[in-house]
Amino acid sequence: MTDRYAVIGNPISQSKSPILHTAFARQFGHELQYDKLLATHEDFAQTVQRFIDEGGKGMNVTAPFKLAALEFADTLSDRARAAQAINTLKFSAEGVHGDNTDGVGLVSDIRDRLGVALENRRILIIGAGGAARGILLPLLEARPAHLLLVNRTESKAHELVEASGASRQIVAAGPLSAVEEGAFDVIINATSASLSDAHLPLERGVFAPDALAYDLVYGRGDTAFMSDARRLGAAHVADGLGMLVGQAAESYRLWFGRRPDVEPVMAMLR
């Protein structure tokens, strides 16, 4: 029988997950049926349960259901617990297991595909919403020298840093103006500013020599953040397409025990 998987969200028509997982399955000769499921907040749990009852083996979860999936899962990975959000569900006889692969996808894209070191580097995350919550723990596990999380509403940044439980020598929080503290090796835009071509208040001195500017948004060409980063001296600029493919590859590994090669899939999407 062909294994059944799906992605659930609202809206869902724009999702690239079926393309990604079909391409991954082709690498290993796996038989895979991967669907898009549209749900509402009211019928999310029923939609997932129906998919399980029909033989579904796993599911990716996208907006706005990453929090709702927390309540549906029987067990959580450490990174899902830290993020307080789920983007991957695995169904088995033991129950429903929830994980969050966003941060792993980001770290693997920066470190493995782009070749930019994270260990002993200074990292800046701009934004303290759901996107930042999903990437904070994996970035801290990469052992940076320092990580600063800034947000327009400073209290949200402090709440996220407190929840991480990391040493205050390693991670700190502050307002957007805190980016004036010094130069950073990796700057990550985890805000939604790029969706409206809004500019972030960045100054030239924020980028260290050979710095990477990484925008979690993808598929919009050069965003305002990416253009500003080049103008202000960033040596490397990337959008979030590699993170998208990387988090999907980690989901595939959780389901099948084998991690696919992301490079041909990146080339196909580009």
Please list the active-site residues. 66
Asked whether residue 154 is marked as a ligand-binding residue, the answer is yes
The label of the residue with tokens 């500013």 reads 193
Residues pairing with 13 in the sheet: none
- Per the CB < 8 A criterion, the answer to whether 88 and 251 are in contact is yes
- Sign of the dihedral through C-alpha 114, 120, 122, 124: positive
The CB-side HSE value for 190 (13 A sphere, CA atoms) comes to 28
Residue 156, annotated as binding a ligand? yes
Closest CA to 135 of 100, 111, 166: 100
- CB-based contacts of 51: which residues, under 8 Å, 6+ apart? 4, 6, 37, 59
Q: Is 129 annotated as a binding residue?
A: yes
Q: Is 57 annotated as a binding residue?
A: no
Residue closest to 147 by CA, chosen among 176, 107, 188, 180: 188
Is there a binding annotation on residue 100? Answer: no
Token pair for residue 236? Answer: 């490397």
The enclosing H or E element of 133 equals: helix 130-141
Give the DSSP H/E element, type plus range, for residue 52: helix 44-53
CA angle 63, 65, 71 (to 5 degrees): 155
Check whether 130 is labelled as a binding-site residue.
yes
Task: Say if residue 223 carries a ligand binding annotation.
Answer: no
78 a known binding residue? Answer: yes
Flag whether 75 is marked binding: no
Asked if residue 240 belongs to a known ligand binding site, the reply is yes
155 is in an annotated binding site: yes
Amino acid (1-letter code) at residue 129: G
Query: Is 151 annotated in some ligand binding site?
Result: yes
Q: Any known ligand binding at 247? A: yes
183 is in an annotated binding site: no
Contact by Cβ (8 Å): 236, 213:
yes
**From the annotation, which residues make up the binding site?**
15-17, 62, 78, 87, 102, 127-131, 151-156, 216, 218, 240, 247
**From the annotation, which residues make up the binding site for NADP(+)?**
78, 127-131, 151-156, 216, 240
**From the annotation, which residues make up the binding site for shikimate?**
15-17, 62, 87, 102, 218, 247
